[in-house]
Amino acid sequence: MLSFRILDFFIALLYFSGALSFLLGLIYSNKKTQDRSVLITATGFGLHTIDLVLKYALGIGEVLTHSQFYISLLAWSFLLIYFFLWWKLKLKFLSITAAPMALLVFTGSLAISPATLPIPGLLQGLWFGLHIGSLFISMALLTMAFGAGMTYLHLDKKIKSKTRLGNVTRDIPSLQSFDRANHLAVIIGFPLYTVGVLSGFIWAAFTWKTIFTWDPKEVITVIIWFIFAWLFHKRLSGAWRGKKPAQMIILLFVLSLASFVGINFFTETHHSLRP
Amino acid sequence: MEQRIYLVGLNHKTADVEIREKFALSGFNPVSDGLMHKGSNISEALVLSTCNRVEITCISEKKPEEIKPNVIKVWAEYCGENPELLKEHVYWLEDLEAVRHLFSVASSLDSLVLCEPQILGQLKDAYRKSVDEKTAGVIINRLLHKSFSAAKKIRTETAVCSSAVSISYAAVELAKKIFGELHEQRAMLIGAGEMAELAALHLINSGLKEIMIANRTPERARELARKFNGHAMCMEKMLENLHRADIVISSTGSRTSIISAAQIREVLKKRKHQPMFFIDIAVPRDIDPDVNSLDNVYLYDIDDLKEVVEENLANRREEAERAGEIIVKEVDKFSDWLKSLDLNPTIVDLLNKGESIARKELKKTLRSLGPGTDETTSMAMEQLAVSLVGKLYHEPIVFLKRRSKEEGSSQKFIDLARRIFNLDEEQIPQDAHHSKKRE
């Protein structure tokens, strides 16, 4: 288990240097440093993949009940989506959120003591996997779109108010590219979120014989779903573009963060990851 | 005899437009128009004639006093003007000064509008013409190639041309910040004044997809449309086509605003809220300032753009210094080459290069034989390698010596030898002479 500790440490170190060097590359508007920082983060991502696969392969069955594994998986999916968006939209810039978020969540996973989750019930593999997989991917999309949205609002304000574009702003990609990231996050993210929520309810129906338990997390999830559905509709119909979807996605991200951090760690429910 | 480079010319700094028009040299052929006749002693010539500058670069073995009056005379005669008038307006540059000047011209640092991209194309055309007319020789060839690469270097390595210092350039930069690459974007010119035309030119250079021109007088709209390969329309059709435009440049002489925020709101619905960028360069303004408060719409008027430009001007001064340093470096390199364009340095370079190759290979071989090689063997090998090089290079050297005694072919063969053996250690890109390659 010591070897895993060392591996985890290296991954965290790589994410840290990736995040830091990107920031430095941005401040000093040095393209090479920015490219290198993405390479560092990618190396961390590769190690992280190996780490997850090994943990799963070595401790099959057991590892799935460790909350640490899930949080680490969430950090991993942030980067998975980051690289997906990079490939799709050439948006290297989102490294500004991807690397620090991966670092934060990954080190967070190391910090909590390995608690065992009670995962009861039949059919848990299929429904639970679907539940976690689709929700994590949509969360990762939401996180990237959050970064894109924040940058969009910043740049939009700068251009609108005709203030001077400094060196840092000059390196930021165009407004349109951030809007495209938002579009992708909504178009892919919302269906996945729906699948995640539905599979959760179905799974709950199998295991607890009730569908809705008024658990605070379930309530906030339904609220998020409705807002998300509204945004999805407005985006698809073309009524919203640019600023409004950016603001909405930020709201959604904050709500999800609140539900994830607040409810998973500070309340006693069956969604709790508390040890 | 040593070859010298002379450059005589006039530009926007030394002559106003009337003089420049009088002494334009478009269509001038150095051979048939008497510049390079038998007794003139000019071996190579290049003529650049644009609306902002007219310049003749020539290569000769003679002293400037013998060349200058003749060049001026031929030039003035060709234009049917008085040589004395021409003399008042020209500058005369010799050797490295001429080289430096040509490098600055190519990088557009000497232009009226700093960094305007046309001059490089004009210089390339002038060079092509001189090649076609067979007035370019070894030195002009190299001089022009080096000036093109210096221009490219300055463009890529310094930001002197990247900051938005003209209003239209600033507009393009802003458009790129909003839309990214402009390949999918359409623009509309409302009013077809000179300013609008300039802005449109910049946009088209950035790869715009389509341009529409709405103007009160349809003839002018059609004229511009032909020039930019766009669509002309009358002013009445402007509003119903506005939703197709991502970038709108307005410059009409209208006394009141012609586009209101309410109209744009309708246009936005039609185009599903795709962003729009309005550039209002008209005074008084054409577009209601409230338009800027709409989501996904950005409006810049002439004062806003001027502000952006002024901020960028300060940055440029620093970059211009760096560009100057690059030119100095390139001129030095050219000067080295010019000096080497003689028989003796070429022979020395050739033998040195050969010997260095021999020694390198010798070292490799000795290393692979291991430490057990005895003194006599290694000595014999060294002798073999060095004398082999001497023998191999003997015939080319004899050839060069013979040819350099002939009239006019000396530089040609020395240059060829330097290139065959790559004595100047140049990096030749993979795609060099791509157009000439056989399939």
B107-121, B138-152, B168-182, B281-295: least confidently modelled range: B107-121
Round the average pLDDT of chain B to a whole number and report it: 84
Give me B136's structure tokens: 């370019």
Q: Can you tell me the distance from the alpha carbon of B419 to that of B260, in angstroms, rounded to the nearest whole number?
A: 65
Closest Cα in chain A to B274: A241
* Each residue's pLDDT tens digit, A16-61: 999 999 888 888 877 788 888 989 999 999 999 988 888 877 765 5
Domain with CATH 3.40.50.720 in chain B: 167-309
- The closest alpha carbon to B413, from B365, B354, B341, belongs to B341
Whether B308 and A159 lie within 8 Å, measured CB to CB: no
Q: Which of B274, B296, B315 to mutate to test the interface with A (most CBs of A within 10 A)?
A: B296
Q: Can you tell me the distance from the alpha carbon of B164 to that of B171, in angstroms, rounded to the nearest whole number?
A: 8
pLDDT, mean of residues B48-69:
87
pLDDT of residue B432: 62
B3-7, B162-166, B282-286, B429-433: least confidently modelled range: B162-166
Q: Can you tell me the distance from the alpha carbon of B114 to that of B111, in angstroms, rounded to the nearest whole number?
A: 5
Q: With a cut of 0.90, is the ipTM above it? A: no
Question: Residue B419 pLDDT > 50, yes or no?
Answer: yes
For residues A70-99, one letter each, b for 16 or more C-beta atoms within 10 angstroms of the residue's C-beta and e for the rest, the string is bbbbbbbbbbbbbbbbbeebebbbbbbbbb
pLDDT of residue B436: 63
The closest CB to that of A240, out of B178, B273, B307, belongs to B273
pLDDT of residue A247: 93
pLDDT of residue B289: 87
On whether any CB of chain B is under 8 Å from the CB of A176, the answer is: yes
CATH number given to B4-157: 3.30.460.30
pLDDT of residue A183: 92
* Residues of chain A found within 8 Å of residue B295, distances taken between Cβ atoms: 242-244
pLDDT, mean of residues B212-230:
87
Q: Can you tell me the distance from the alpha carbon of B287 to that of B248, in angstroms, rounded to the nearest whole number?
A: 10
On whether any CB of chain A is under 8 Å from the CB of B272, the answer is: yes
On whether any CB of chain B is under 8 Å from the CB of A160, the answer is: yes
pLDDT more than 90, % of chain B: 8
CB B216 within 8 A of CB B189: no
* Each residue's pLDDT tens digit, B32-51: 888 887 777 888 889 998 88
A43-57, A254-268, B343-357, B372-386: least confidently modelled range: A254-268
Q: Which of residues 40-59 of A touch B (CB under 8 A)?
A: none
On whether any CB of chain B is under 8 Å from the CB of A241, the answer is: yes
The closest CB to that of A160, out of B273, B298, B311, belongs to B298
Phi, psi of B10 (to 5 degrees): -140, 150
The closest CB to that of B273, out of A160, A165, A238, belongs to A238
Whether B292 and A160 lie within 8 Å, measured CB to CB: yes
Closest Cα in chain A to B312: A164
pLDDT of residue B317: 72
pLDDT of residue A264: 66
User: Distances in Å between the alpha carbon of B37 and those of B57, B86, B140, B410?
Assistant: 16, 21, 18, 20
- Residue A112: DSSP 8-state: S
Catalytic residue at B234?
A: no
* Residues of chain B found within 8 Å of residue A162, distances taken between Cβ atoms: 300, 304, 307-308
* Residues of chain B found within 8 Å of residue A239, distances taken between Cβ atoms: 272-273
Domain with CATH 3.30.460.30 in chain B: 4-157
The verdict on whether omega for the bond into residue B284 sits within 30 degrees of 0, i.e. cis, is yes
What is the pTM (predicted TM-score) of this model?
0.63
CA distance A22 to chain B (A): 21
pLDDT of residue B81: 84
Question: Residue B314 pLDDT > 50, yes or no?
Answer: yes
Whether B298 and A241 lie within 8 Å, measured CB to CB: no
B167-309 fold: Rossmann fold (3.40.50)
State how beta strands B91-94 and B4-11 pair.
antiparallel
pLDDT beneath 50: ranges in chain A: 121-123, 274-275
- Residue A208: DSSP 8-state: H
pLDDT, mean of residues B300-324:
79
* Each residue's pLDDT tens digit, B395-406: 888 888 888 777
